[in-house]
Amino acid sequence: MSTARSHWSTRFAFILAAVGSAVGLGNLWKFPYMAGANGGGAFVLIYLLCIAAVGVPIFIAELYIGQKGQKNAVASFEATHEKNTPWRCIGFMGLASAFIILSFYSVVGGWILDFSFKSIFNQFAGKSDEEVKGFLGALFESPWTQVGWHFVFMTGTVGIVLGGVRNGIEKWNKILMPTLFALLGVLFIYSFTLSGFSQSISFLFSPDTSKLTAAGVLEAVGHSFFTLSLGMGAIITYGSYLKKKEGLAKIAITVAFLDTLVALIAGVVIFSVVFTHGMEPGGGPTLLFQTLPVLFSKMTGGYILAVAFFLLVAFAAFSSSVSLLEVAVAYWVETKKKDRVRTTLLIGIVIFGIGVLSALSTNVLSDVKIFKFTFFDLFDKLTSSIFLPLGGVLISLFYGWVLGPKAIEESLSLGKKPSLMKIGLLWTTRVLAPVAVMIVLVKGVMDF
């Protein structure tokens, strides 16, 4: 086990990569449609609370386990505790999650690539609303187009991970992340000029608690996990490439802050466009693929806006998908001492294969139902509502109870003196976060 591990070149490079992992389809696609469907402000408020009270503590826990363990998502549990500890099963479940999440994430990534090309080739312009809306249906009905784009997306992800931590993941994040922030900044400034801007702000930021449902609250807790890439070892893996002696709490707060900022700004931009044209915010998952293209096709500057927007989403999706693939690659390369290039290619092919089931869920396999779900929905539900929350509960308990106060002192680097932060983190990871996430988990299991 003495092969030297790569490390991020700087702390900043690590933060970029962690933000790259966190900011993805979860922020730009899922968050806006969930907020829209759950009435806006009240959902956003609960989401913010979850990020602070559940997301940040578990983020610190994962970072600590990775950084202290300096190994992959399975072996880091052993390195921080003891050899063959049963807690390493969290890592195995994480590996399963990596395969499953990436398989359908890549299919949605493929839709984004398809829409990026459509926008670059100006295909929304001069079409009727029905025609523009029809693009998504046509894509869904065509097995080849969907599998093809899924292949392109996986190839891109594999291509980045092949380069390794420094020359692949770090290098690409240094290009993708600043571009993403620049594009988002431009879109945000543009949204000030839209007449729907103020309505968008009040929709997202003035909570109307009467619109909140129990299901909405649970969705918010679950999403706080997905959006921060928690519960399956992605942050453990990234944290393991961090040199020892970095203040973890600050890093966790920075990443959570930037991730939330991106989600909120994306929400403001999207709903400004929606309200400017008097459309309904509750469009659901098709918001990004039907509502927005229709609006882009009508707006002055809509061409540029559409291209910028879909490229933004594509970049965000790539920087997240690499973090999912790296979890599996790091495990096989380190534990089984396999060659990195061959392992990456092989895992990429397997995940591509599993993803084909999701790509065919809207056409050839649409009638195949497992527990009443298509493959696509099954994979999404199984991971977002069961594996990730379960992983999160266990990671939190492992950190709070098994590693305990010493780990917390080290994570916060405050030394031994008692402090409110220390007690806060101890009891959030011991009780508050596990209980909150358990409730989501029970609901997830009941949905099956």
Instruction: Pick between residue 297 and residue 384 the one whose CB is nearest to ligand TRP.
Output: 384
What amino acid occupies position 40? G
Is 22 among the residues that bind ligand TRP (CB under 6 A)?
yes
Q: Among residues 8, 15, 19, 21, which is the contact residue for ligand TRP, using CB under 6 A?
A: 21
Is 237 among the residues that bind ligand TRP (CB under 6 A)?
no
DSSP calls for 213-280: -HHHHHHHHHHHHHHTT-SSSHHHHHHTTSPS---HHHHHHHHHHHHHHHHHHHHHHHHHHHHHTT--
How far apart CA 191 and CA 276 sit, in angstroms, is 10
Is 400 among the residues that bind ligand TRP (CB under 6 A)?
no
Instruction: Pick between residue 24 and residue 40 the one whose CB is nearest to ligand TRP.
Output: 24
Instruction: Pick between residue 302 and residue 444 the one whose CB is nearest to ligand TRP.
Output: 444
Interacting span for ligand TRP (CB under 6 A) from 152-160, 161-169, 225-233, 281-289:
225-233
How far apart CA 424 and CA 266 sit, in angstroms, is 31
CB of 84 to ligand TRP, least distance (A): 25
- Classified as helix, coil or strand, 201 is helix
**DSSP β-bridge partners for residue 370:** 373
Interacting span for ligand TRP (CB under 6 A) from 21-29, 62-70, 111-119, 157-165:
21-29
Interacting span for ligand TRP (CB under 6 A) from 9-17, 72-80, 119-127, 224-232:
224-232
CB of 104 to ligand TRP, least distance (A): 11
Is 27 among the residues that bind ligand TRP (CB under 6 A)?
yes
Q: Among residues 119, 227, 260, 385, which is the contact residue for ligand TRP, using CB under 6 A?
A: 227
| Chain mean position to CA 226 | 5
Instruction: Pick between residue 132 and residue 228 the one whose CB is nearest to ligand TRP.
Output: 228
How far apart CA 75 and CA 95 sit, in angstroms, is 12
Interacting span for ligand TRP (CB under 6 A) from 125-133, 152-160, 226-234, 405-413:
226-234
Q: Among residues 112, 136, 187, 234, which is the contact residue for ligand TRP, using CB under 6 A?
A: 234
Closest by alpha carbon to 138, among 119, 116, 117, 111?
Answer: 111
- Classified as helix, coil or strand, 159 is helix
Is 101 among the residues that bind ligand TRP (CB under 6 A)?
yes
Is 297 among the residues that bind ligand TRP (CB under 6 A)?
no
Q: Among residues 13, 16, 26, 147, which is the contact residue for ligand TRP, using CB under 6 A?
A: 26
How far apart CA 222 and CA 445 sit, in angstroms, is 13
Is 72 among the residues that bind ligand TRP (CB under 6 A)?
no
Q: Are 251 and 18 in contact (CB under 8 A)?
A: yes
How far apart CA 405 and CA 411 sit, in angstroms, is 10
CB of 232 to ligand TRP, least distance (A): 5
Number of residues near ligand TRP (by CB under 6 A): 16
Beta-strand ranges (E) seen in 306-375 are none
Interacting span for ligand TRP (CB under 6 A) from 125-133, 161-169, 211-219, 221-229:
221-229
Instruction: Pick between residue 323 and residue 396 the one whose CB is nearest to ligand TRP.
Output: 323
Of residues 144-173, those binding ligand TRP (CB under 6 A): none
How far apart CA 55 and CA 264 sit, in angstroms, is 16
Instruction: Pick between residue 321 and residue 361 the one whose CB is nearest to ligand TRP.
Output: 321
CB of 267 to ligand TRP, least distance (A): 14
Place of tokens 């300096």: 70
What amino acid occupies position 3? T
Of residues 298-337, those binding ligand TRP (CB under 6 A): 320, 323-324
Q: Among residues 16, 19, 25, 270, which is the contact residue for ligand TRP, using CB under 6 A?
A: 25
How far apart CA 176 and CA 213 sit, in angstroms, is 37
Q: Are 72 and 5 in contact (CB under 8 A)?
A: no
Phi, psi at 370, each rounded to 5°: -120, 125
Q: Are 204 and 329 in contact (CB under 8 A)?
A: no
Residue 179 in tokens: 């571009």
Q: Are 330 and 69 in contact (CB under 8 A)?
A: no
Count other Cβ atoms within 10 Å, centred on residue 430.
18
Instruction: Pick between residue 26 and residue 66 the one whose CB is nearest to ligand TRP.
Output: 26
Give contact residues for ligand TRP (rule: CB under 6 A). 21-22, 24-27, 101, 226-227, 229, 232, 234, 320, 323-324, 388
